[in-house]
Amino acid sequence: PMKRDLMSNIHPVVAIAPVVVADNTVQKSAAIDVRKYHSVTFLIALGTIADVDATFAVVIKEGSTSTQTSHTAVAAVDLIGTNALASFTFADDGEMRKIGYKGAADYVSIEITPTGSRS
């Protein structure tokens, strides 16, 4: 019988370290080199979101270089899931979000943009 083994087939890396967001500063990952992989899945672990009217928009970006600032938004056809499903609000304490990438770019990055977040 076939054994299940996801661990041997993934290479986890931290895209954005855990952070307290107390304003509307965009949280950006560094460019992640995906040339050796067929796809990427971003997992977003949410802690306690204290601000009662904040929203957080998630966008996956891609590019041909490791310069994250030159990356552009990924076309929907190259996403597994949607940016909207990965996004979250103040009401989502303790939840997880996920979004995947299956495009052909050499590098990908993730950006999370808060709106209505106050210190």
Q: Encode pLDDT of 64-116 as tens digits.
A: 999 999 999 999 999 999 999 999 999 999 999 999 999 999 999 999 999 98
Q: How far is CA 18 from CA 2, 6, 63, 79, 80, in A?
A: 36, 24, 24, 24, 23
Q: What is the pTM of this model?
A: 0.90
Q: What is the pLDDT of residue 42?
A: 97
The pLDDT of 11-26, averaged and rounded, is: 90
Tokens of 76: 């929907």
Q: Average pLDDT for residues 13-20, to the nearest whole number? A: 92
CA distance 67 to 63: 8
Average pLDDT, the chain: 92
